Amino acid sequence: MKYVDEYREPQKAETLLTEIEKISKQLNKHVKIMEVCGGHTHSIFKYGIEEVLPSNIELIHGPGCPVCIMPRGRLDDAISIAKHSNVILTTFGDTMRVPGSKFSLLQAKAEGADIRMVYSPLDSLKIAKENPDKEVVFFGIGFETTAPSTALTILQAAAENIQNFSMFCNHVLVVPALKALLDNPDLQLDGFIGPGHVSMVIGCQPYEFISQQYHKPIVVSGFEPIDILQSIWMLLNQLLQNKCQVENQYIRTVQYAGNKNALQAMNEVFAVRDTFEWRGLGNIAHSGLKICDRYARFDAELKFTTANIQVADNKACQCGEILKGVLKPWQCKVFGTACTPENPIGTCMVSSEGACAAYYKYGRFAKAFSQLQIDENKVIA
């Protein structure tokens, strides 16, 4: 299959690994690279990339999973909207089992709330047309990847003058989150593997501040194993040559200026919030989107009363530290025991892009537990 098979060729992977090994020896230091996107995290573990890298190259898992960073208070607000007798709440499947402060959307559905999974916000619009006596609310979530489809749906609703459709907007922006990570003194990074899907929309230009202000290299990457290995090789080359640039490995999909049509739709429908809470990262200025005044009639936060308060995470869960890249999933005390995909305590174990789910799904946690046991034995001895 074109654009798949050629990015999974073992010989190409071996060649890249040989070159990565050479550069890592020349650098002669520990290098920390953060893959921002949760999709990259899953590819890294699916193909065992982290295990074949030189020991001085460490991959740090970032907050690029929109479900994982959703704070409990916003989940509680979505559930409170869904509990209205005349409301049909629609959402993507990933959000159904994310725990709020008391229960999840799936549990709320089991208790009688009309909550339906959809594949697209346009599905929600269709449900609104079919149920004119109901208020249909779409739980909008995601980075710039999914925001354009939501914006276009609102434009369609406006064009058709659909009165019973609205959106609970929880779209977030990747650039302010990256800045918050770079400002975190507890996290010292040498470079970034830039998100592929987000960059399909926003392009590469928004990342220039990383190289210009923070003097860190970033390479926008695809999701196949060769993509990721090539991106790591490109980053190491920059470090070896003492360069800090924005490079685009994913040239078959990502353009430097981004997708102009998608950006235009977003700019027409959305405005930037003053601040938005991210699970694990706290409030980040100008990091969230809201529906602008022109389309306020489609804003569920104006149609319904929401608490809009911050709710502390479960004390046993360390998703916040994992999202910041400070801890690895297996370092959380409940990982793989009290917290599993079947019984998740935190969001990182729920989402298909969560770091904990990646560790658990692909069995890497077994090796991590073994290493943890060795370390504990050393301490005891």
Task: Give the per-residue pLDDT at 363.
Answer: 66
How far is Cα 252 from Cα 372, in angstroms, rounded to an integer? 41
Task: Give yes or no for a contact between 136 and 30, defined as CB atoms under 8 angstroms apart.
Answer: no
- Mean pLDDT per 10-residue run, the chain (381 residues)? 84 97 96 94 92 95 87 93 96 90 92 97 98 98 96 98 97 95 89 97 97 97 97 98 97 96 98 92 94 98 85 82 85 88 85 85 59 45 38
Choose among 191, 239, 247: nearest CA to 214: 191
Task: Give the per-residue pLDDT at 325.
Answer: 84
How far is Cα 115 from Cα 93, in angstroms, rounded to an integer? 11
Domain range list for the chain: 1-313, 319-380
Task: Give the per-residue pLDDT at 365.
Answer: 52
For 46, phi then psi, to 5°, come to -60, -40
Task: Give the per-residue pLDDT at 269.
Answer: 98
Q: Given 3.40.640.10, 2.40.50.40, 3.40.50.11610, 3.40.50.11740, which CATH number is that of 1-313?
A: 3.40.50.11740
How far is Cα 71 from Cα 326, in angstroms, rounded to an integer? 19
Task: Give the per-residue pLDDT at 379.
Answer: 40
| Burial class of residue 292 in the structure, from the number of CB atoms within 10 Å of its CB (0-12 exposed, 13-18 middle, 19+ buried) | middle
How far is Cα 283 from Cα 285, in angstroms, rounded to an integer? 7
Helix axes 10-27, 225-240, angle to 10 degrees: 20
Question: Who's near 121: CB < 8 A, 6+ residues apart?
Answer: 90, 138, 140, 149, 150, 153, 167
